[in-house]
Structure 1
Amino acid sequence: ISPFQFSIREYRPSDEHVVMSLLRDGIFEHVYPAFFKAMSHPDHVGVALSISMAGYVLGGSSYFQALLFGSVWAGLIYYCCHEIYEGYMTRRLSADMANIQANYLENPDNGFWVAEADVNGHSKVVGMVAVMGKNAGDGCYGEMSHMVVAFPFRRKNLGSQLMRKALDFCKERGHAHLVVDVSSPQAAAISLYEKFGFVQTGSNSNTHANLWFSRLARINLLWLIKLIYHLHIGRTINLNKTIVLN
């Protein structure tokens, strides 16, 4: 049983600093998993071994040169992964996160919530989630984003509580389904979504980054959806979508 009791409430302007910090931490924590996943790909392993061997030969049987050449390759892969998430962070800061009050709270179809915990007698924001209402030809649906839980408060059921808040909001607003896009290195997030009945309906490698960065980082973007209301007979939902990290 978690020693913390969480309360979820609507975002306030006074939360901006901590929310931005959570956003940044939540995005950049995926760089290392993406890097290790990319480096473990057989193609990258082969390139790393080839480059290291070339360094060994060119350096006159120098193990140091072999290590140096291999490190340069690894550094390039890390840089590509970092740039992809850096670009995502920059785009969100100039889009919906530029004005949370206007983009979320002033639109009844949108919502932005934070989770608080009592830490040493003080209330502290330790998580967040947002939903933006979208219109489609077959009705309205919700698009979830910014699902973040501060590291010390994970595995304490807070992610599930935030997910239920987003789903309840969509039900109240009559959204037919809730969608979310997630990058392939986010294993814990994907597991949580699947636990709540989300199913993957598409994937794409377009990260809005340089084409070579995307190819080297090998980050795929997954589109997941959860049906909330079944539509009337004769109406369908297009569950396939080309997605980008935006």
Structure 2
Amino acid sequence: MSLFHDGILEHVYPAFFRAMSHPDYVGITLSISVAGYVLGGSSYFQALLFGSAWAGLIYYCCRDVYESYMTRRLSADMADIRANYVENPDNGFWVVEADVNGKSKVVGMVAVVGKRREGDGDRFDDSNGGVTQGGSEFVQDEGGRSYGEISHMVVNFPWRRKNLGSQLTQKALEFCKERGYGRLAVDVSSPQTAALALFKKLGFVQTASHSNPHVNRWFSKLAEINMTRMEKFI
């Protein structure tokens, strides 16, 4: 739970700096600061205050996008991992453990959810926490087979660049193959450049790009966060 919490919120600062470095936002920041300078009677403090208020708004939007997602999932599928993943044969959940000061610690995780046909019980949907319950028929891909989706993948920072992300993804692919799924899909947010590079390296291809439909539309737009759909056929 702690790994998931920290792994999601760590994307806030990269998202913020990515948004603020956009040429349009640089221009807006300068314009707002100049407006504060003029309205404050040539006050540098007023210029700094106006610019800081704009930056604060962007940071708030970035944090809200990831925090709302994290809070929703912690109260849904992550609230009972055993019932929603381990005991559900259509889903899978794996962790990486490491010895830290003589104690076992979870330093990585990946979860896969089987995708169900709309209308069959509580289908998988980010709005219900990513849990598939009820019904027995799966969504069919173009090849006529059901498919899986990575709902969570996190590796703790000190254990990155040790091939753990690749091993977790391979485990997810093996599970999908065993289950007869035709492909494995994953949604990656735009600030997650390392994750995008990893999936491309493993043979995933981009099939769609969209904004996050499960958060405030204006917050997502101001935060400049888009989602990239990556898929690999098995």
TM-score bin, normalised by smaller chain: 0.7 to 0.9
Name which of 159, 165, 177 aligns with 1:159: 165
Number of aligned residue pairs: give it: 209
Name which of 94, 115, 124 aligns with 1:113: 94
Task: Report how far residue 45 of structure 1 moved.
Answer: 1.4
Deviates more, 1:71-80 or 1:118-127: 118-127
Question: Equivalent residues in 2 for 1:28-177 (5 A)?
Answer: 28-134=9-115, 135-137=138-140, 138-177=144-183
Task: Report how far residue 78 of structure 1 moved.
Answer: 0.2
Task: Report how far residue 100 of structure 1 moved.
Answer: 1.1
Task: Report how far residue 145 of structure 1 moved.
Answer: 2.1
Deviates more, 1:103-112 or 1:93-102: 93-102
Looking at structure 2, the residues matched to 110 and 120 of structure 1 have their Cα atoms a distance apart, in angstroms, of 32
| Amino acid corresponding to residue 76 of structure 2 in structure 1 | A
DSSP-derived class of the 1:197 partner: coil
Quote the RMSD (CA, aligned, Å). Answer: 1.2
Deviation string, structure 1 residues 162-202 (Cα, Å, up to 9, x no partner): 11111111111111100001111001111111111011100
Question: Equivalent residues in 2 for 1:7-46 (5 A)?
Answer: 20-46=1-27
DSSP-derived class of the 2:146 partner: strand
Looking at structure 2, the residues matched to 61 and 203 of structure 1 have their Cα atoms a distance apart, in angstroms, of 44
DSSP-derived class of the 1:175 partner: coil
8 Å contact kept, 1:207–1:221: no
State the partner residue of 1:240: none
Deviates more, 1:104-113 or 1:203-212: 203-212
Name which of 203, 209, 212 aligns with 2:215: 209
Task: Report how far residue 54 of structure 1 moved.
Answer: 0.7
State the partner residue of 2:201: 195
Looking at structure 2, the residues matched to 142 and 212 of structure 1 have their Cα atoms a distance apart, in angstroms, of 30
8 Å contact kept, 2:114–2:148: yes
Structure 2 unpaired stretches of 5+? 116-137
What is the percentage of aligned positions where both structures have the same residue?
74
Structure 1 unpaired stretches of 5+? 1-19, 229-246
8 Å contact kept, 1:202–1:222: yes
Which of structure 1's runs of 4+ aligned residues deviate more than 4 A?
none
8 Å contact kept, 1:84–1:207: no
Looking at structure 1, the residues matched to 166 and 98 of structure 2 have their Cα atoms a distance apart, in angstroms, of 15
Q: Give the TM-score, by structure 2 length.
A: 0.86
Deviation string, structure 1 residues 89-109 (Cα, Å, up to 9, x no partner): 122123221221111111112
8 Å contact kept, 2:3–2:106: no
Deviation string, structure 1 residues 50-108 (Cα, Å, up to 9, x no partner): 11001111122111211111010000000000001111112212322122111111111
